Amino acid sequence: MDGNATNNYLIAPSSGWNMPLLKDTFNAKDVDSIFRIPMSLGRLEDDIMWHYEETSTFTVKSGYWIGRCLVESSSSSNPRLLKSWWNSFWKTKILLKVKIYVWKACNDWIPTKVNIARKGVQTNGLCEACKASNETTLHSLWECRKLKHIREEWLYGIVPLRGNYSTFFDLVWDVSCLVNKEHMELFYVMVWKI
């Protein structure tokens, strides 16, 4: 395939994916992921979108905020930034019970096996779902391999992630720097539903 090819080469004249070309070009896992991308019913022109703004238009303010978040994401302990982040969290338009659950998870107050063991209760600490890792808040809400299909189904293409996290709050902080408000609210609800 030509290095300058666009997705138009992968679309069949019937407005569906050109499966033979997809299978020739990509591995089976990628073909499956591409096939799950819904096709537009109309033939609209592509447009440049900035998904960090509700208006989809880039602003210097949003670019500055994203840049600042990315630089300081490794230091989510900055008190001023942390207070600002929590203030915006409590203003999100999601149910209070979802906010409280996410707040507890961010503070590592969810009764996982690791947290229960810290209280002196005898437990093997292993996740009941995968039996491969210790059941921490981060593992039980994000890292467990049994959750992979849920993450992919709910958040496909929405949450671009950058790596490993040491706490659930580190993950939430990173996601909040990378997605818009609506996608962040979807992320919170997904965490609560798990």
Looking at residue 189, what is its pLDDT? 92
Q: What are the C-alpha distances in Å from 69 to residues 19, 107, 157?
A: 40, 20, 20
H/E stretch holding 88: helix 79-90
Same domain, 27 and 104: no
Same domain, 18 and 96: no
Q: Which residues pair with 126 in a beta bridge?
A: 134
Reading the chain (194 residues) residue by residue, the pLDDT tens digits are 665 666 666 777 666 788 888 888 888 888 887 877 776 666 667 677 776 676 778 888 777 777 766 665 555 567 777 888 899 999 999 999 999 999 999 999 999 999 999 998 998 889 999 998 999 999 999 889 888 787 777 766 666 566 678 899 988 988 887 788 888 898 899 899 98
Same domain, 132 and 77: yes
Residue 115 backbone zone (phi > 0: left; psi -120 to 50: alpha; other: beta):
alpha
- How many Cβ atoms are within 10 Å of 21's Cβ, its own excluded? 14
Same domain, 65 and 41: no
Cα 157 → chain centroid? 8
The residue range of the domain holding 156 is 60-193
Q: What is the pTM of this model?
A: 0.61
Any domain includes 113: yes
Tokens of 98: 């979802």
Same domain, 28 and 73: no
Same domain, 28 and 66: no
In the chain, the number of structural domains is 2
Same domain, 2 and 32: yes
Same domain, 75 and 170: yes
Question: What are the residues whose beta carbons fall under 8 Å from the beta carbon of 174, sequence distance 6 or more?
Answer: 73, 161, 162, 165
- By residue count, the chain amounts to 194
Report the candidate in 127, 145, 128 with the shortest Cα–Cα distance to residue 136: 127
Any domain includes 80: yes
Residue 181 near residue 166, CB atoms below 8 Å: no
Buried/exposed 122-132: b ≥16 CB within 10 Å, e otherwise: eeeeebeeeee
Any domain includes 51: no
Any domain includes 5: yes
Any domain includes 130: yes
Same domain, 102 and 133: yes
